[in-house]
Amino acid sequence: MAPPRPARPTGSPPGKPRGRRSLRRALWLALGVGAVAVGISAGFFYSLAQVPLPEQVPAAQVSTIYDVRGREIGTLAVEQNRRTLAWKDIPQVMKHATLAAEDRTFYEHGALSYKGLVRAAWANVTGGRISQGGSTITQQYIKNSTPVGRERTFLRKAREGMLAIKLEEKYSKDQILEFYLNTIYFGRGAYGVEAAALTYFGHSAKRGLSPGEAAFLAGAIRNPEFYGNPKNRTAATQRRNDVLGVMAELGWLTPDQSAQAQAKPLKLKPKQKRSLGVAGSRAPHFMEKVRLYLIDELGADVVNRGGLKVSTTLDLDLQAKAKAAVEGTLDRTGDPRAALVAIDAKSGAVRAMYGGHDFGKRQFNYATDAQRQAGSTMKPFVLGQAVEDGISIHSNFEGSRCVVVQGEKLCNYGQTQFGMVSLLKATKLSINTVYLRLIDQVGPSAVANFARRCGIETTLTSSERRPELPEHPSLALGAGTVSTLQLTSAFTAFANRGVHLEPYIVASVKDSAGNRILNHHPNPLQCMDTNAADTVNAALQEVIKGGTGRRADIGRPVAGKTGTTNDNVDARFVGYTPDLVASVWMGYDDQKRRLENIHGEAKVDGGELPALIWRDFMSAALEGSPVSEFAEPDLRSGEVINPTTSSVTTTTVDPGVVPQTSVFSPTTVGPPDSTFFPETTLPPTTTEDPFPTTTRRNRFPPGGGFP
């Protein structure tokens, strides 16, 4: 029996201004017209729809995942644990907890809660979209047991509502609540309160549930994958306590019983290892990412029920080549970890994702979930912002051994003295002090925002973290953290001439009946000026032609950038054609362990093993494909900072100065990412640019803003 309703508060609210009353009347009129339209559609659905009972709920089916060419990558193993209980065997405390959490007036209203519908309609009209549903437990049962779709549309809600009315005409409230508690999803593959009790607490619900256990299960219904995740124990405890508070408010627990239950720690059984359906696929790290994405978009209930046909962006041929490139190089026990991501620059489609060696042993995706420092792969974003600000790539800056940044001394590798160097040369040789002076001119916050705008904060699933981009000059040298996927995504904006498309892994999804329930819609963004992108591309081609990335040369036009953190802890290479961008990361789980003595290399930086892995992958991936040329930049605009008449400067080294360490980040005093330049002697360098220009004006002093 339902508890008595609380008394209404006395008094009337103050009157509303006339303009607001007119707006309210207009909105109510719109709601009325909409209600008529919904009613007509609902009548049609009512006449045709069949109401499913628990024994008629569709059985679980295997979901199949396909690559971009329609080849099967693998299947998602069905994760369903369904157990039913008779009404008399469901603990009363569980019934009360469910009503408190989901529908406290369930026994008072009909199939639909009209107050809830009006409240939801008002929110939807004023919000300009379908954001609330006002669903009762009866409606929730219909939604979870009938393929009415997940789109938030008025027609879907109308059909759901008519089915709910038919259900309540045929069955009692007790029966409907029994249906609901035997079919609702509680997370971890558990359907129904009996399976949930065994999954989370290790005992049968029929044996009994404590108020705290019942409140946790009822509270988890709202977002089972979240509240059932051990990482979210604090939020789950708060949700449990909220439900316990409502139970006391409604008289189903005494205040003392509620307080005692809230004081107890939340104890859940450890989460069991996942089925081997993902691990047995042809691309397990990618498959697991697809599974998590589908749960984000469609809900765990739809994914676990199965029967889905999922078309992805993965190319199994490129995936095999990525695996061969990485494991063909890192083929020894004790080798460092590695990741490789390849993205179609024109669409954002992820074509290959190597996230680790053995998914069965370690279910961690190094391509998307490992946040590591970027090293000098951040320098192109500084250059891009500078060009957007009107600074010519012909500009020259002092490549002194060191500069002082806010009291800290930051140096070139080996404290090499380069003299006056053009931005082109500084990019080619990855000269730290030039880029520290450049970011001082354009501003660290502008560079961070530029990188964000061009997609460096991209995530594929809700479980991934966004990068850390400190708005500090050390950002130019890679301070902060970023995933390999995020870095690859941001570089697609350069390859695609300033246009960024969010990376994606799922193109479309069909349900077991063949209905399309999800479809990717690209959303291109012009994140930088076209000529700025073309200019960066020209500079990064020089990196491979004769700079720190020479080992990545594949005999066709490519651009790229090396990146190595201080003490050679992380090494990266990002490279691309106008069509395909690929990024390689290498490092150990222990973020203090250096990349040393690996396959004959005393110290590994981005221009060595990562560049070689990238070369092996891209050579195989592009074999037989047409050669794409980069667009030529227009370099007639932009101001030349510190023009010079000299075409040659001599590089000198002071071997007697001890390198300094920055307090900002281990990244900030990194090598120039190449072994082609010994620490003690360097070949002569030139400031002569391969690109003609017509404008040369001195706007800033040679030292920029640094001492």
Candidates 3.30.1540.10, 3.40.710.10, 3.80.30.20, 3.40.630.30; CATH matching 324-686? 3.40.710.10
pLDDT in tens, 253-274: 999 999 999 999 999 998 766 5
CA distance 402 to 412: 6
Looking at residue 645, its pLDDT comes to: 55
Q: What are phi and psi of 80, to 5 degrees?
A: -125, 130
Which stretches within 496-582 are classed as H helix?
A: 530-546
Side chain identity at 180, as an amino acid letter?
Answer: Y
Q: What is the 3-state secondary structure (H, E, C) of 145-198?
A: HCCCCCCCCHHHHHHHHHHHHHHHHHCCHHHHHHHHHHHCECCCCEECHHHHHH
- CB of 42 closer than 8 Å to CB of 160: no
* Confidence check: pLDDT of 28 > 60: no
Of the candidates 316, 382, 324, 311, the one whose C-alpha atom is nearest the C-alpha of residue 351 is 316
- CB of 499 closer than 8 Å to CB of 526: yes
CA distance 86 to 2: 21
pLDDT in tens, 164-217: 788 888 889 999 999 999 888 898 888 899 989 999 999 999 999 999 999 999
> CA of 541: how far to CAs of 424, 428, 500, 697, in Å?
10, 9, 20, 26
**Beta carbons within 8 Å of 368's beta carbon, 6+ residues apart:** 289, 353, 355, 459, 460, 461, 464, 483, 484, 485
Regarding predicted confidence, which is higher, 654 or 555?
A: 555
Q: What are phi and psi of 363, to 5 degrees?
A: -90, 65
Looking at residue 306, its pLDDT comes to: 78
- CB of 501 closer than 8 Å to CB of 347: yes
Each domain of the chain, given as residue ranges in start order, spans 81-263, 324-686
* Confidence check: pLDDT of 43 > 80: no
pLDDT in tens, 215-226: 999 999 999 988
- Copy the structure tokens of residue 245: 């508070």
CATH superfamily to which 81-263 belongs: Biosynthetic peptidoglycan transglycosylase-like (1.10.3810.10)
Q: What is the DSSP letter of 216?
A: H
Coil, strand or helix: which one is 65?
Answer: strand
pLDDT in tens, 588-628: 999 999 999 999 899 999 999 999 999 999 999 999 999 99
CA distance 316 to 314: 6
**Beta carbons within 8 Å of 60's beta carbon, 6+ residues apart:** 78, 80, 304, 305, 306, 307
Looking at residue 154, its pLDDT comes to: 54
pLDDT band at 685 (very low <50, low <70, confident <90, very high): very low
pLDDT band at 111 (very low <50, low <70, confident <90, very high): low
CA atoms within 13 A on the CB side of 304: 23
- CB of 481 closer than 8 Å to CB of 371: yes
CA angle 464, 72, 458 (to 5 degrees): 20
Looking at residue 163, its pLDDT comes to: 78
Looking at residue 19, its pLDDT comes to: 52
CA distance 346 to 335: 34
- CB of 670 closer than 8 Å to CB of 432: yes
Task: Indicate the helix (H) or strand (E) that contains 660.
Answer: none
- CB of 435 closer than 8 Å to CB of 476: yes
* Max CA separation in the chain (angstroms): 94
State pTM to two decimals.
0.69
* DSSP secondary structure, 379-442, as one string: HHHHHHHHHHTTB-TT-EEE--SEEEETTEEEE-GGGEE--EEEHHHHHHHT-HHHHHHHHHHH
What rounded mean pLDDT belongs to the chain?
82
Residue 139 CB burial class (10 angstroms; 0-12, 13-18, ≥19):
buried
CA distance 262 to 238: 9
Handedness of CA 464, 469, 474, 478 (dihedral sign): positive
Looking at residue 99, its pLDDT comes to: 96
Cα Rg of the chain (Å, integer): 31
Looking at residue 271, its pLDDT comes to: 78
3-state helix, strand, coil in the chain (%, to 5): 40, 15, 45
Regarding predicted confidence, which is higher, 117 or 581?
A: 581
